[in-house]
Amino acid sequence: MLAMVRNFDAGVAGTDIFLNVNHQPGDGAAAKVCKLAVAGGRLRELVEWTNFGRDGVKASGFRYFSAELSKNWLERWIASSVVQRSKAKPHS
């Protein structure tokens, strides 16, 4: 989880991260992820809700989030992780 926070802070995705409702990104963004953190052993998000997202939670009863990784995003994350490790100073 800490690696996810570091990658989010470093902008590894190369774009803003948005939440959707019911795994239907074509329906529109429910919220923009503004910050990630680990607290109490859980990954926490600070989000900026859209009206569509607020309605999804209040009116439609959506209460849980599940992550979806796309192949392109995963390949970019792996490449970035390799670059970050190669830039690390060796231990003396």
pLDDT digits (tens, 9 = 90+) for 2-23: 888 898 899 888 888 888 877 7
Tell me what percent of the residues of the chain surpass a pLDDT of 70: 67
pLDDT for the residue 87: 47
pLDDT for the residue 36: 92
Residue 82 has pLDDT above 60, yes or no: no
Task: Average the pLDDT over 80-85 and give the result.
Answer: 51
Task: Average the pLDDT over 15-44 and give the result.
Answer: 86
Q: What is the DSSP string of the chain?
A: -HHHHHHHHTTTTSS--EE-STT-GGG--SEEEEEEEEETTEEEEEEEE-HHHHHHHHTT----------HHHHHHHHHHHHHHHHHSPPP-
pLDDT for the residue 59: 82
